[in-house]
Every structure is written in C-alpha cells, then in structure tokens.
Structure 1
Amino acid sequence: MSAYDRDYVPSEQWPTLNVLDSSGFAAYNIPESNALDGRTLTLHLDSAGEMQVRFAGGGHVELVESGAVSRHTGSVKEVDTDLFLAHFVRGDNELASVVLVLDLARGVVTVVRSSLVPGQAKGGLFAEEEVDGGGIDRDTTGRHLRTDELVGRRVQYVYGPDNAYEHIYLSENAYAWQCLAGAEKGLADVDRARVWRIRPDIYLLTWQEKVVPCDGIVILNFRANQSTGRIWGYDTEAKTTNAIAMGARAIFLNQTDHDPSTWAE
C-alpha cells in the first residue's frame, strides 16, 4: 500500500495511553530536582483557600487541605531558576492528578487539577481541568496570566530519536497537532488548549484530548528550547490510569500572523 492509498485512521483504532508510554516521550527530558526537598510551602489559592505542600524527597509530596493530610508520588523539575514544575497522581484518588507551577522568585503559583469525568472520548470519559492561581507563603496579588503570545507559532517537539510531533497554535483556545514519528505517526487532530505566560519566553500549556481520555500539561521553555511535563489519563484496554513523563527539544519552525486588513477587496 502506498502512502497515497492510506485514509485517516478511525479514532477507535488510535493507540491507547499505555501504548504511548512505551514510545519514548522522556528521552530528552530534564532531570528531577531535589531543591525543594524538606521544604513546606503554603499556597494561598483564589478558589480553593489555603493548601500546604510538603516535599518529602524522592518525588514524595504531602498535601494538607482543610486539615486533612494526603501523600502522593510524582515528579519535581526545576525548569528555570527558582521555577519548579511538580506533578503527581493523587494517592487517595487515582482518577485525579495535580500539577503545580511554583514560581518562587515571584511568590506565585498556578495549580491545575485534572479529573476523569463522563465524556465523549474512548471509554466514555474526558479529562476535565480546573485551574487556580495564588500566592506562595503570602497572599500576593501577582498571577500567571492567560496569553495569546503563541498564536500563529509552529513548533516541532522531538521527544526521542524516534518520537516527534508538530504543534500549530491556532488561537487562545485551540491547537493542531500531528505525529511525525512514534506510536501515533500519521495521526493528527485539533484539541482544546490554553496557554499561561509564566516568564518571558516560558509558558504553561494545557490541552485536553477528544479521542484518548487524557490531558497534557507542560512547561514550554523557549529560552532553553525545551519542554517538560506529563500526559495523564485513562487507558481503555488496561482499565487503569497512567501518567506519562514528557520532555522534548523544541524546534521553532515559523510564525504565521493574520492581517485582517487584507481580507477586504
């Protein structure tokens, strides 16, 4: 069969989450950090009130929420000086995960809580997100803000020698992706995506997929041309959740800017 005889692959034939896990998303990831080990941070959140985060070492994190203590295992990475990305699946609820963007230099945090809820993706589920901002150890007024600075940008992400994707950021709420190499080679889609400006040339990107019940949350560091984060969701064959660590070399391809003045005759 030639490439020209192939049709678009039906969504029911797309690889499941666990298949993606074996295709090498972390070959170019940045190392884990122990810089926060032994520290306790108090997060003053806009919507969820006060929460304490204790970093016990070895990727172990304790949360104190409304007086209740829960213990979780995940990842902590320093993506820029005094800027950390922590992510973990809740140890007390495997259908929920948490990502923390901790900007210690500014005293600002962004929290993304993901949960699997009834939806239209495979298995009848969908990865829902709740995003909250706040201050670290004090109730600061600064926040990481939504931005359209990536709109029109086209970037290639190389996760390993045999795993690469292309992103095109279409709007403040959507992006297009295609797999150039790896388990999803030849697949493409447009999904919901949102971007927050963390620092100049450093962004938080979250997306929610329609076919595979999962969401992705990564830091895009265009100062270092590096991304790091995770995909988390539900594997419909194994009937389990999975968090896949991701890290890629980012290659800027081009920028498209639309000029409405050219639309009129």
Structure 2
Amino acid sequence: MSSQPVFIPVGDLADGFAPDSHILPNSTALQGRQFVLHFADGSSASLQVGEQDCQLETMSKGSAEGFVGQGAYRASSLRPGIVLLDFIPFQQHGHSLSLVLDLERTVFTAIAGQLPSAQEVGQSAFSRVNQGQELTAVRCQFAHGSLNQPLTASTALHHVSDELIGLRNQYRYSPTECYEHIYLNSHFYTWQCLQGVEQGLADVDRCHYFKLDEALYLFVWREKIIPTLGVVLIDLQQLKTDGKIFGYQGNDFTAIANFPVGAKAQVLNRTSHLLHD
C-alpha cells in the first residue's frame, strides 16, 4: 500500500525539476533595448533591458504603476518574435513581474504576481469562503497594451481565450517529472503529478488563459495549498511549453523560489460537454 502523498514547498519542487529539464535556452533578443509600454488605460512605463538586469519605471500614472521594479531577469522565446521576460523586483519581497513581449505585433501582456503572508496562508478555506474571498491567497494582476506607440482602435491585443478548455494534456518536464492537466472551465483546471517529486498529488486550482497567436497561449495558475504562481506559454503547434513557477523556498516564507520550467506537451484528448434541458 502506497504512503500518503505530501505537498512540498516550491523550493523542493525546484530541486526536483532542475536535472535535465526541458527549459529553453536564455534569449538575448531584448539585450540593450528600450521599450515604452502603453497600457490600455492610457498610462505608460519604460522598460530598459541590460545584459543581466532590467528595469520598469512608470512614465504616467494609471495601471502602469502596478508593474514597476528592477531585477535580474530571464528571457526565453518559445516562438520567433515573442519573448517572455521574467524577474523578481529588488526589495519587493513576494512579488514577481512577467512580460510577454510580442515584438512583431508590437503588443504586450504584463503579469504581476504577489505571494501571500504567513497569516493569509494560515486562513482556512472555510473562513476565506465566508469572507467572500478566493480560495487561493496568491494574487495576480494582468494588463495589456502596445509597444512604443499608443494604442489605437485597431490594435490587436492579447485576449482572454477559451480554446484550451476541454483539453487533457500531458507535460513531460524532465526524465523524472511528468504531469497531467485538464482545463475544466474559464476559472479552474485540475492537475496531477504522474511521475516526480509530487507523484500522487492532485488538485483543482484557479487559472487564467490568454491567446497570443495561433495555437499559442499564456496560461497562469494560482495554487491554494502551497502558495504558488505559475506563468507558462503553451505552444500546441510545437507541443512545447516554457515559463516559470514562483513561490516560497521553504515553509518559513523568508526566501523566494522563482525557477524556469519547460515541458514537452502531448494532447491526450478533448472533452466537449453536450448540455440539454
């Protein structure tokens, strides 16, 4: 009889994923470049990308103010012309910033994540529901806009998508780590670890989907048991993913783990529900 599976800190998960992982090599496509990010509400920010660090600074007040900071970054490009830039802002404990920069279409999507405090994590699911809160205490903010030129009525921004809903996919992250996802509806997906350090674990968590290009999606999830934020791009043409997982290194919440992940994808099936009166 197998032992009870145990949820582990994100730092331990990083250790399990690291050997021979299928992450993409770092991209140098943004090095030495500067961009102006024009947000949909009319605010703007400047992005400067160096060899190791990048910096986001507000130029005008508005939603851009929620996406500022400086830090050492990782950049990857799952598809030509589209770069995922991710970093942990200096002196902003528990925060992360990710940008999907669509250089050919000159648009972007920004993702600001925030991990909960120990007190927030300690709240029971019942108390959170009673207070009208989400089950997960991990927070996430999204914004869309254009690069280097103000938005116009014809600007084709990245947008929310339901195209993943119903898919049952398998993701091989490394020779030792394999997971299954089922995208249930516009708010939730379910996952289980088929092989690896979380083998036998499964849950249903809050998620968000955005379409970036044909068969290319931004998928973000927020876990409720171990505070975790995942940000990945899913390419169903190449059957490949790349992104990051963000959380606490251990159970004392003093150190952060923010590590890259990438997987070889396999579509197992798609479920279409036929509902009748």
State whether TM-score is above 0.5.
Answer: yes
Corresponding position of 1:257 = 272
Query: Is the contact made by 1:127 and 1:233 (CA closer than 8 Å) also made in structure 2?
Result: no
Q: Which runs of 5+ in 2 are unaligned?
A: 124-135
Distance change (3 Å), C-alpha of 1:139 and 1:66: closer
Corresponding position of 2:261 = 246
1:121 deviates by 6.8
State the distance in 1 between where 2:172 and 2:138 align: 25
Question: 51, 58, 77: which is aligned to 1:65?
Answer: 58
Question: 10, 15, 19: which is aligned to 2:12?
Answer: 19
Counterpart of 2:188, as a letter, is A
1:46 deviates by 2.3
Corresponding position of 2:173 = 159
Q: Helix, strand or coil: the match of 1:260?
A: coil
State the distance in 2 between where 1:148 and 1:259 align: 16
User: How many equivalent residue pairs?
Assistant: 254
Query: Is the contact made by 1:122 and 1:236 (CA closer than 8 Å) also made in structure 2?
Result: no
Corresponding position of 2:113 = 114
Query: Is the contact made by 2:111 and 2:142 (CA closer than 8 Å) also made in structure 1?
Result: yes
1:30 deviates by 1.1
Overall identity of the aligned pairs, in %: 30
State the distance in 2 between where 1:134 and 1:250 align: 29
State the distance in 1 between where 2:97 and 2:248 align: 15
Counterpart of 1:128, as a letter, is R
Q: Helix, strand or coil: the match of 2:16?
A: coil
State the distance in 1 between where 2:48 and 2:198 align: 37
Corresponding position of 1:81 = 80
Corresponding position of 1:237 = 251
The answer on 1:43 being equivalent to 2:54 is: no
State the distance in 2 between where 1:89 and 1:178 align: 27
Corresponding position of 1:172 = 186
Q: CA RMSD in A?
A: 2.2
Query: Is the contact made by 2:34 and 2:46 (CA closer than 8 Å) also made in structure 1?
Result: yes
Q: Return the TM-score normalized by structure 1.
A: 0.89
State the distance in 2 between where 1:55 and 1:86 align: 10
1:126 deviates by 2.6
State the distance in 2 between where 1:257 and 1:97 align: 35
Q: Helix, strand or coil: the match of 2:73?
A: strand
State the distance in 1 between where 2:177 and 2:78 align: 22
Q: Helix, strand or coil: the match of 1:175?
A: strand
Query: Is the contact made by 1:123 and 1:236 (CA closer than 8 Å) also made in structure 2?
Result: no
Distance change (3 Å), C-alpha of 1:237 and 1:117: closer
State the distance in 2 between where 1:251 and 1:207 align: 19
Q: Return the TM-score normalized by structure 2.
A: 0.85
1:48 deviates by 7.8
Structure having the higher strand fraction is 1
Counterpart of 1:20, as a letter, is L
State the distance in 1 between where 2:108 and 2:58 align: 16
Query: Is the contact made by 1:225 and 1:250 (CA closer than 8 Å) also made in structure 2?
Result: yes
Query: Quick check: 177-186 or 139-148, which moved more?
Result: 139-148
